[in-house]
Amino acid sequence: MISRRLLRIKALQIIYSYHMSDNPSLSKAEKELLFSVGKSYELYHLILLLILEIATFAENRIEIKKSKHFPTEDESNPNTLFILNPIISKLRENDSFLRYIDQHHMSWANYPELIKHLYTRMIESEEYDKYMSSTSLSFSEHRNYIFFIIESILVPNEYLGQILEERSIFWNDDIDFAAGMAIKTLGKCKESNTVKMFPMYKDEEDRKFLINLFRKSIVNRDENRELIKKFTKNWDFDRIAKMDILIMQMAITEAIEFPSIPTKVTLNEYIEIAKYYSTEKSSMFINGILDNVFHTLKTEKLIKKIGRGLIGESE
């Protein structure tokens, strides 16, 4: 399932676009938000599909070499360890995964050079040689090799990153999240069972969290901006980075509107988001401002937390 951090980031991105638009439409922006989350879920499947494409490419190369008029001994008796990797076999047999791919018309067929490029990078690695020369591997060792492909071949690959940017503007920052979901999915797979795909949302509560955070961050914009101004009197408000202000607005909205989420969780989440989506010093600045804002809102009983271990949250 898509993590709440990514849900927060998606909301942040669409809210930013909403406020930058000349003719903002809340309903249109909300549809774009849900579409954006759906694209992240697609990318999760595409990462796993890419593993199968690389394996198919490897399998085709083996067949081509075997069909030569005078194949060498190695070509006649190829090493099939990779193409018979049990994780790959389980993915190829996974009905829910294949059904999703088919229903959404997902494919890497238009990118043969990418598949060749990734395959080449894989076979040039020391890990590949070590894996292929192994004579006895456990299921977890086979799985770890697939993890290596995802983490070290796919995620850092600039060519793949370029293609993802060309295919969808919603994938610009998503590959790490999608790859993490793919690894968690395969990590839960055991030798005795099938690969169980994650749903898009953990549960209906997560979907409601996304929608409500988005809507209330926009509705409460002016009120929260005025609150931020009270705690930034030593700064020229108009010169504070727009993204910093928006991150703080969302954090305040979450702290007030979601009583089951601890304020420390909210604070830490938006500080981490600021490290990637704003200026170099933004996280420290946002931390200081929000810490004061939250303290004041708790004192004024405007932040009320309910649930086990949350009532009367200690400072």
**What digits encode the pLDDT tens for the residues 8-18?**
999 999 999 99
pLDDT for 206:
97
Q: Given a cut of 80, is residue 41 above it in pLDDT?
A: yes
pLDDT for 145:
98
Higher-confidence position of 310 and 293: 293
- Side-chain-facing half-sphere of 135: CA atoms under 13 Å: 0
Q: Is 55 helix (H, G, I), strand (E, B) or coil?
A: helix
DSSP state of 151: I
Specify the residue for token string 């304020």: 263
Q: Given a cut of 80, is residue 307 above it in pLDDT?
A: no
Q: Given a cut of 80, is residue 315 above it in pLDDT?
A: no
pTM of the model: 0.91
**What digits encode the pLDDT tens for the residues 108-141?**
999 999 999 999 999 999 999 999 999 899 999 9
Helix axes of 26-66 and 175-187: crossing angle, nearest 10 degrees: 60
Distance CA 114, CA 50 (A): 10
Tell me which residue of 154, 147, 145, 80 sits closest to 115, measured CA to CA: 154
Lowest mean pLDDT among 66-75, 127-136, 139-148: 66-75
**What digits encode the pLDDT tens for the residues 238-253?**
788 899 999 999 999 9
**What digits encode the pLDDT tens for the residues 198-237?**
999 999 999 999 999 999 999 999 999 999 999 998 888 8
Q: Show the CA angle centred on residue 151, arms to residues 103 and 176, nearest 5°.
A: 60
Distance CA 4, CA 284 (A): 22
DSSP state of 197: P
**Domains of the chain: residue spans and CATH:** 4-187 (no CATH), 220-299 (1.10.940.10)
